[in-house]
Amino acid sequence: MTETLADEYPEAAPYIQQAVDKHGENWVLEHYYEELYPLARLMAMPEKDELPFYDEDEHNTMAEDERVEMYEAWSEYRENLRTGTKPGE
């Protein structure tokens, strides 16, 4: 992890580094929005393209509206599981 990222995101950097150590950089990039970025509710998190190992030629990011749509779909899915209903019921 670069000093800049650790300086800019002191709370988030250890979580990102732990994920890199455990799973590798490619896993972190592939699962960033699902596994790490939700921590933004608790602390400042870098955007995926701010990660030092992000390469825009090899990886993509999600726009904020795409992330919101994904998180809303997850929320609806969890609510359906909790209530035992199907979408639209």
In this prediction, residue 20 has a pLDDT band, given cuts at 50, 70 and 90, of very high
H/E segment holding residue 80: helix 64-83
* Rounded Cα distance, 39 and 55, in Å: 22
In the chain, count H helices and then E strands.
4, 0
Instruction: Note the pTM of the prediction, 2 decimals.
Output: 0.70
Lowest-confidence region among 3-7, 59-63, 75-79: 59-63
The total of other beta-carbon atoms located within 10 Å of residue 48's CB is 18
